[in-house]
Amino acid sequence: MDNKNQFKPRWLIVLLLMLPLFGASTMAAEAPQEGFDHDTTGFILSGEHTRLACESCHLRGIFKGIPNTCQGCHAQGTPMKASAKPPNHIPSGNVCDDCHLDTTWATARVDHVSVTGACESCHNGRAASGKPPGHIQSNNVCDDCHTTRNWAGARFDHSAVAGNCMRCHNGRTATGKPANHIQTGNDCEVCHRTTGWVPAGFDHAGITNGCSNCHNGATATGKPANHIQSNNACEACHRTTAWVPATGFDHTGITNGCYNCHNGATATGKPPNHIASNNLCEDCHRTAGWIPASFDHANAGENCSSCHNGSTATGKTPNHFVTTLQCNACHTNVAWLPVRYTHTSMNYPGDHRKVNNCTGCHTTNTEAPTWRSPTYKPFCAGCHAKDYKAGEHKKVDNPKILYTVGELKDCSGACHTYTDNTLSVIKKRRSGKHLPSKGGW
């Protein structure tokens, strides 16, 4: 017997023994039926799948157990090596055929239901439509205002709007000024708020008349029931900042009866620090203003400074000379000037015996003297600086140090002579050398 023929039965025996290991599917793959209808498998071949070779999906001739869903093949790490979701794919829990067709990945019908990423990751003007050029200036993300069904019909969020209101509120994109709106060139946000059109914080800047066009009690607040009877326009008395206080009241024709209004309720009355008086307002005040008042001093008495203290009424001016005299010692109750003044004080200006008349000091018709050297007023040097002889006013003999005018501006003060330039030990005391009561230097 030939050795080759001797082994043939053994090969057949081995092959028959191994058939159960391959299974029926293997045998079916090896011998598919002619005219096989793929639709009967439950996976209908359509689109790009009709152009694929069988072995693209049925690897190693295996027909049964092949995935019948898109993601079964189109996923990372599958044996079929079919194209999977790219790294920049929209984050989504959808399966492929929720959005894509089997003809091409592109032109997908996006289903937003399971999208988990931020809208702007796609709606950036490149991957998908983004904000158009005329979009409202805003830092909001898309889903703050828009829904996944449509861009239009947005629920608008004003919180992050940075642009001008009129870009939308122009009567076309969004509600604009109504026909009966006040005539103004202001932008919406000058008066209105994003929470609502009403109430509006109206800006009156630039409005100078015609107030009653709005302030008529219908469009805006008008005259209250207790308003003073008047035909004046609002702006004749009131200001655009507030109704009260009304500073421009027109008193034309009013000559008396001021207290009918100026009683502290209807209009300003006497303040708490008003002078105690039974006079009527018009006895002292004028309709042009409370101040100045022509006060009636007929029964004022002698204590002028009780009112003329710079608070209740005009007091001493800053350059008034020092005195404890009452106002009426020099002034009359008709006017401050002219002044009746007597130099009785032994202090400044003292007994200036060489000054024979007022014009020796008072060169102008004022209550204060004209200072010859204003730098040193109100001291003696204010008038006598030019009489000062430095050589006669030694501070130290050796080395020779002289006093300055500024140091001796009060001529009646001390100008001691010291032993040396340390000025620590007095050599000679000199005080009160030039008292005004002595009548000379």
Instruction: Count CB atoms within 10 A of the CB of residue 96.
Output: 19
Is 57 within the bounds of a domain? yes
Tell me: do 289 and 305 sit in the same domain.
Answer: no
CA distance 270 to 293: 13
Q: According to the model, what pLDDT value does residue 9 have?
A: 42
Contacts for 59-67: CB closer than 8 Å, 24+ residues apart:
61/26, 61/29, 61/30, 62/25, 62/26, 62/29, 63/25, 63/28, 63/29, 63/32, 64/25, 64/28, 65/25
Tell me: pLDDT of 15 over 50: no
What is the mean pLDDT of the segment spanning 244-251? 74
User: 52-99: per-residue pLDDT in tens?
Assistant: 888 888 888 888 888 888 888 888 888 888 888 888 787 777 788 888
Of the candidates 236, 233, 234, 217, the residue with the CA atom closest to the CA atom of residue 225: 217
Tell me: do 311 and 290 sit in the same domain.
Answer: no
Of the candidates 72, 149, 156, 74, the residue with the CA atom closest to the CA atom of residue 115: 149
Tell me: do 314 and 289 sit in the same domain.
Answer: no
CA distance 332 to 22: 138
Tell me: do 382 and 441 sit in the same domain.
Answer: yes
Q: According to the model, what pLDDT value does residue 102 have?
A: 83
Is 88 within the bounds of a domain? yes
Is 389 within the bounds of a domain? yes
User: 402-441: per-residue pLDDT in tens?
Assistant: 999 988 888 877 888 999 988 889 898 887 777 766 666 6
Of the candidates 181, 267, 273, 263, the residue with the CA atom closest to the CA atom of residue 230: 267
Is 78 within the bounds of a domain? yes
Cβ pair 188, 166 in contact under 8 A = yes
More confident residue, 243 or 159: 243
- Give the mean pLDDT of the chain: 76
**What would the two tokens of residue 341 be?**
């003044």
Is 364 within the bounds of a domain? yes
User: 339-396: per-residue pLDDT in tens?
Assistant: 665 555 444 455 565 555 566 676 665 556 678 888 888 788 888 888 888 888 888 9
Tell me: pLDDT of 258 over 60: yes
Is 226 within the bounds of a domain? no
Total domains in the fold of the chain: 5
CA distance 319 to 340: 18
Q: According to the model, what pLDDT value does residue 134 have?
A: 75
Say which DSSP state 425 is in: S
Is 53 within the bounds of a domain? yes
Last residue of a domain, one of 111, 132, 149: 111
Q: According to the model, what pLDDT value does residue 92 have?
A: 76
- Domain containing 76: what range? 21-29+46-111
**Confidence category of residue 322, pLDDT binned at 50, 70, 90:** low
**What would the two tokens of residue 273 be?**
């620090």
